[in-house]
Structure 1
Amino acid sequence: MKGARALLNGYLGQGFQSDNPERMKGGGTQYLAISTNGDRIQLDPSVRSLFRPAIAHLRRCGLNPTTNVVWNQGAVPMLRRETYVPCMFERAYAPPNVRELDWARDWQKVIEAASMKSKFPGVMKDWGFSGLIPRSLVFRPGDTVDIPQDMDSVWFKRTVETTGGINVEGPVGRADLDATVRRFQRRDEAFQVQEHVPGDDYSNQYFAEFDGTLRFLATTEQVVINGHHAGNETSSDNWGPLTHAIAQKLVALGLRGFFGIDFRVNGLTGRVTEFNLRVNGSSVPEYLRVQFGFDKVFLIRETQVNPRLSLTQALDRLKNTGHELDSTGGAVAYLWGWFKTGRTLGIAIYGDDARARYDEVSRILLAA
């Protein structure tokens, strides 16, 4: 973060829904890696016993994380000259002493206007970007769902997002259309139906500084394992210009912090498919990649660890096998808050042959 000290709260309940409260709490631990001396970070008391081995590992990786922890992920006051970095701005969790300030009101307004999948087609039209998106329809409870016959294949998107759940289904063909419509209607919430366009999925990752300076972090690609979006890697293609004007509009309206804009590319044609106006799965690793000066990062959010290992023992394996990050590359366990409940670590690999190195790191962490 530029300039002033920051108050960081990565609690995933800001921006996601889940039936697993531990997942919400533990997701905030990734912000420790991007903190610096003088910052304050809000963490849940449930991860307190993991803090010392985590911070020791991050220091060995060349980082200087804060030790000033607020063991509470609820709303706490901001201190003078602090900036604010949440998972996503949500009034209930925002510092109570700034909620009525203009910047906080503007941030909340842009989240309310554009973050929901049901709002996406409307704001893209209002802002003059409708030509960049696939044909998209929004249906609300009680609406008659009429999908044009020439939309042969579509995606169904929930209005709200869950972590660890299925928020998007597709592509859905005509044969399965009616059943999918009924399933989404039973949720009794608005949903979006978006025309399927061929191509590959990408996301442009951004960080907006508190003063409104926009930083483009990277174009990323999905890493899919067994049909599941398990992680991301930095793309060798730079598709930033496709979405920069949209990002600039969001920031001009008041958006701050991490966010991403997803799109699909087929040859020379790109189509913007959705906003993610919150921390994304690749946000922290890409932020660190820029800081470290590496060209690429390969990350898997939930790397299984041998259940007999403590966090100290797992991180020592990275150190003792020479895989812990140094100036030439290596592994950073950037997300450690799901270790107790899920026995997983978020692992980011920097440097050459990152995919192959990740496979070796995964084997080492899982070995008896």
Structure 2
Amino acid sequence: MGCTAEGVLGNQLYSGRALGATDPGDLIQLHPDLRPQWSAICRHYQRIGLNHSTDVIWDVDTGLLAAHPEHEPSVFYFGDAEQRKRPDERWHRTVDYINSKNQFMALADDLGVPTPRTLCFDAVGLIGDDDIAAAPYPCYLKAAISVSGVGIYRCDHPQALRAAIETFEPKVPVQIQDEVRTQCFLNLQYEAIDGRAERLAATEQILDGCVHQGNRHPVPAPPWEVVEPMANWLVEQGMRGVFAFDVAVIDTDAGTEHLAIECNPRWNGASYPTMIARKLGIEHWLARTFPTQHRMLADIDLSGIEYNPSSGEGVILVNWGPVLVGKLLVLIAGEPDRQPTIAQSLSQRL
């Protein structure tokens, strides 16, 4: 199960984050390295009242998708390997198309979806001196196909852009995008249900530079109308499952402006806490990554801060597998003014 960018620490352990989104009777593929954590995560979920699958395949080989035709596939990303084992040509073609940031920009232009000023190139080697001189600075040089902020470089001046260009192989498609001057980026998630694009959740992103660190819910007055034409188009073309859009929020003298940045034609970092929160009826939550000195879930003391269904606040472990490399994605449920206190208490125990 390819769960995130290959360069992300503990990538092979990310399969565990799907557990909280499952239901009894589902089959889930987990990496065998997670087996020693299984009893601890099951006890945690039982205490907080979160039902989940207990039918585990301790193997993340994509080839196993073909072995269970009686189950609907739910995968992180429906790519070439998934298409070979559980063919769905329309889904695969749609994902492949919109996964390119350059093709996203072309479609946004066709559908009237507002975006930042962006120059698209079929190959980084095609960027000439005139393009570098004409680029908006500061700008970002982005690989057209990337995940988790990998392959993105901020450039303040032409020399920085030239240096960033040299980091890519000449045939890699890229884009040069005007820097969006804002600290607020939203993630608008949809789910394809019965041929319709259903709104799933709107969250504010917590970023460390370009790298996703977490999300906050809810968002006041989410701008669904900005990306809805594209969401509907994608489902009409064959999109299935969960997908999302990143949208920048810019305050101007004329009012608030919303610019679509990209589409994630897959589950993303916000999807996993979103599904848990929806199952438990949690409205106010924060999900973020915490470092930990522990390497076993059983060694982490959550007494007194673990999620309590009666109070509606506390800690829920979401991406628990990377505890093996010293990090955890945690959902903190509770009113916004309570979240920092709970987070501090958790940090002291990690």
Q: Which runs of 5+ in 1 are unaligned?
A: 1-10
DSSP 3-state at the match of 1:363: helix
Q: 2:72 aligns with which of 70, 75, 83?
A: 83
- What one-letter code is carried by the residue in structure 1 that aligns with 2:82? Y
Distance in 2 (CA, whole Å) between partners of 1:142 and 1:150 is 15
2:191 is equivalent to residue 191 of structure 1: no
Asked if 1:278 corresponds to 2:266, the answer is yes
1:172-211 matched pairs, under 5 angstroms: 172-174=156-158, 176-184=160-168, 186=169, 188-199=171-182, 200-209=184-193, 211=194
RMSD: 2.5
**What's the TM-score once normalised by structure 2's chain length?**
0.87
Task: For 1:214, give the aligned amino acid.
Answer: A
Are 1:78 and 1:95, in contact at CA under 8 Å, matched by a contact in 2?
no
Residue 216 in 1 paired to residue 199 in 2?
A: yes
User: Which structure 2 residues correspond to residues 275-354 of structure 1 after superposition, within 5 A?
Assistant: 275-301=263-289, 303-307=290-294, 310-314=296-300, 317-318=301-302, 320-327=303-310, 328-340=312-324, 342-352=325-335, 353-354=338-339
**Counterpart residue type for residue 77 of structure 2:** M
| Aligned residue identity for 1:63 | L
Separation of aligned partners in 2, 1:270 and 1:329: 32
1:132 aligns with 2:114: yes
Q: Which amino acid aligns with 2:330?
A: I
Structure 2 distance, partners of 1:124, 1:144, is 22
Give ranges in structure 2 of 5+ residues lacking alignment. none
Q: Structure 1's 219 and 278: CA in aligned 2 closer, same or farther, altered over 3 A?
A: same
The answer to whether the 8 A contact 2:94-2:234 is kept is: yes
- List aligned pairs for 1:1-368, cutoff 5 A: 11-13=1-3, 16-19=4-7, 23-74=10-61, 75-76=63-64, 77=66, 79=68, 81-94=70-83, 96=85, 98-99=86-87, 104-125=88-109, 127-129=110-112, 132-139=114-121, 140-145=123-128, 146-147=131-132, 149=134, 151-163=136-148, 166-170=150-154, 172-174=156-158, 176-184=160-168, 186=169, 188-199=171-182, 200-209=184-193, 211-224=194-207, 229-234=212-217, 235-267=219-251, 268-301=256-289, 303-307=290-294, 310-314=296-300, 317-318=301-302, 320-327=303-310, 328-340=312-324, 342-352=325-335, 353-365=338-350
> How far apart are the structure 2 equivalents of 1:214 and 1:85?
17
Per the TM alignment, residue 128 of structure 1 is displaced from its structure 2 partner at its CA by 2.0
Matched residue count: 336
Give, in angstroms, the shift of residue 155 of structure 1: 1.5
CA positional deviation for 1:32? 0.6
8 Å contact kept, 1:59–1:65: no
**In 2, distance between residues paired with 1:251 and 1:71?**
32
Q: Give the residue type in structure 1 aligned to 2:59.
A: N
Distance in 1, matches of 2:89 and 2:308, equals: 40
Instruction: Determine the C-alpha separation between the residues in 1 that align with 2:293 and 2:198.
Output: 38
TM superposition shift of 1:152: 3.0
